[in-house]
């Protein structure tokens, strides 16, 4: 989301004087080098071609939300205090499986440090705190308000500062209840910090649902991560995932990243234009309207058809997985179609002296599916009247430039963009390889049917042999 936000601000918000980007050095690269590398990515293609001069508006600020006072120099701190007018707080660890100490350090304490800095800013007009639509996942109806919680965020922040990591890990399961992971838990605590500061800051909370690849901007289908639904689609398209615990009748609460970013920018504009702030902190759920809800079964069926039309290269097996709510059936499918092929392929790799990889991939897939199944086996009702009302107050021109209309998106066409985006930008498989991939898919289809026929024959043979029915059945069929 950060890269798409920067691109959209540079491309469409031409009156912006400067954009400060808080960045930490990573893998030996300075913040400036990291930004230079970003600008070479496909996501910035239209800026490179149409408006290369706007690059100079990007000003990296070395720092880290996990460091005291954000780890920024006194000079940079004063620069931000004197000049910054709009703040998008998007920094967070998105790892659902992150340790509690790490999640609170990044998502909760990091938010507190951002709030402390913003309280000093002389020209601040809008602070947007990016949360998640699932931070109150214990509630069936999720409205645009901050709910109380029985845990005090200040107590938790003090706890992770002095308590040993092993001790924190031991108490984590009890602390998280009713949350499924440390991400939603730490985000909920952060929202309480933001709410407590509302009387002193012009701040709001923005909650996108599951963010997926771009629909139209800046590049159709652009994505740079295999997290969430994209990873499932890629793994399913390559035949790695064959079964998943999921209720097909429940809604797939996803939002294209460009729609979410347009929402962020228009919310910042709306907040900055408010003459009188509401009594309670403004909260915006960036979720699909009720008129544009799509079920997981619809996503699966359309996704399969699209994956057959635009297959991935070098699939492990024919992509014919399914979803179920029957845990026993799912476990059997995982054993037969996930782990058995993984061990077989790794055995072949071992025999040919090649590096084994399938069991490692299946471990990652299993962990990912176990984390995601909390969200695919539950139904929520998201209410977003405040977010939906924003478009009514924009000019027709702004509604085109910063479109938030998900109703206009064709679901089948969008799934095609997701799969092609995952194929090109994550798997580095150019469209020129599609003819070869289609031939591979036909081969896998035949192999799948032959393997299933052989397995059925083997199971029937074992059953007849163990029950003593083999001879009479063979005689009846004339095989004796």
- Spans of all domains in the chain: 1-226+252-293+380-431
- The alpha-carbon radius of gyration of the chain (Å, integer) is 25
φ and ψ at residue 58, rounded to 5 degrees: -80, 120
Q: What is the largest CA-CA distance in the chain?
A: 93
CA-CA distance, 103 to 116, in Å (whole number)? 19
- What residues form DSSP beta bridges with 243? 322
pLDDT in tens, the chain (480 residues): 999 999 999 999 988 999 999 998 888 888 889 888 988 999 999 999 999 999 999 999 999 999 999 999 999 999 999 999 999 999 988 787 889 999 999 999 999 999 999 999 999 999 999 999 998 988 889 999 999 888 999 999 999 889 988 999 999 999 898 888 999 999 999 999 999 999 999 999 999 998 999 999 999 999 988 877 888 888 888 888 889 999 999 988 889 999 999 999 999 999 999 988 999 999 999 998 877 788 899 988 888 899 899 999 988 888 888 999 999 999 998 888 888 888 988 998 899 888 888 888 888 888 888 888 888 898 989 999 999 999 988 999 999 999 998 888 888 899 999 999 999 998 999 999 999 999 999 999 998 889 889 888 888 888 888 888 888 887 887 776
For the domain bounded by 1-226+252-293+380-431, which CATH number is listed?
3.40.50.720
- What residues form DSSP beta bridges with 285? 207
């Amino acid at each position: 989301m950060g890269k798409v936000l920067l691109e959209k601000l540079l491309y469409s918000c031409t009156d912006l004087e400067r954009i400060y980007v808080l960045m930490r050095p990573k893998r030996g690269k300075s913040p400036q080098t990291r930004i230079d590398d970003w600008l070479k990515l496909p996501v910035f293609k239209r800026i490179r071609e149409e408006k290369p001069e706007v690059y100079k508006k990007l000003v990296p600020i070395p720092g880290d939300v996990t460091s005291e006072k954000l780890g920024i120099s006194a000079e940079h701190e004063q620069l931000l205090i004197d000049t910054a007018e709009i703040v998008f707080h998007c920094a967070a660890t998105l790892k659902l499986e992150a340790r509690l100490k790490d999640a609170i350090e990044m998502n909760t304490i990091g938010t507190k440090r951002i709030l402390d800095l913003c309280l000093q800013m002389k020209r601040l007009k809008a602070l947007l705190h990016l949360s998640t639509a699932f931070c109150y996942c214990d509630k069936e109806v999720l409205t645009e308000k901050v709910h109380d919680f029985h845990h005090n965020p200040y107590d938790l922040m003090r706890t992770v500062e002095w308590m040993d990591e092993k001790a924190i890990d031991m108490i984590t399961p009890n602390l998280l209840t009713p949350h499924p992971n440390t991400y939603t838990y730490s985000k909920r605590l952060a929202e309480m910090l933001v709410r407590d500061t509302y009387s002193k800051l012009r701040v709001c909370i923005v909650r996108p649902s599951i963010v997926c690849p771009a629909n139209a901007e800046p590049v159709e289908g652009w994505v740079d991560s295999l997290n969430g639904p994209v990873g499932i689609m890629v793994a399913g398209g390559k035949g790695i995932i064959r079964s998943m615990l999921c209720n097909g009748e429940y809604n797939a609460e996803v939002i294209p990243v460009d729609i979410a970013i347009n929402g962020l920018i228009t919310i910042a504009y709306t907040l900055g234009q408010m003459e009188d702030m509401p009594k309670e902190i403004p909260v915006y759920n960036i979720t699909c309207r009720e008129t544009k809800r799509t079920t997981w079964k619809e996503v699966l069926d359309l996704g399969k058809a699209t994956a057959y039309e635009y297959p991935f290269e070098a699939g492990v097996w024919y992509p014919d997985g399914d979803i179920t709510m029957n845990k026993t059936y799912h476990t059997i499918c995982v054993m037969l179609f996930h782990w058995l092929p993984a061990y077989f392929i790794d055995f072949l790799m071992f025999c040919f002296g090649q590096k084994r990889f399938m069991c490692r991939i299946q471990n990652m897939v299993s962990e990912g599916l176990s984390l995601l199944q909390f969200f695919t086996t539950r139904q929520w009702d998201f209410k977003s009247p405040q977010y939906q009302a924003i478009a009514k107050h924009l000019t027709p021109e702004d509604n085109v430039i910063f479109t938030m209309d998900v109703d206009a998106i064709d679901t089948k066409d969008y799934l095609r963009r997701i799969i092609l985006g995952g194929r090109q930008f994550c798997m580095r498989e150019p469209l020129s390889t599609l003819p070869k991939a289609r031939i591979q898919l036909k081969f896998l289809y035949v192999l799948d049917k032959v393997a299933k026929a052989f397995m059925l024959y083997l199971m029937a043979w074992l059953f007849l042999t163990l029950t003593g029915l083999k001879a009479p059945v063979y005689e009846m069929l004339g095989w004796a």
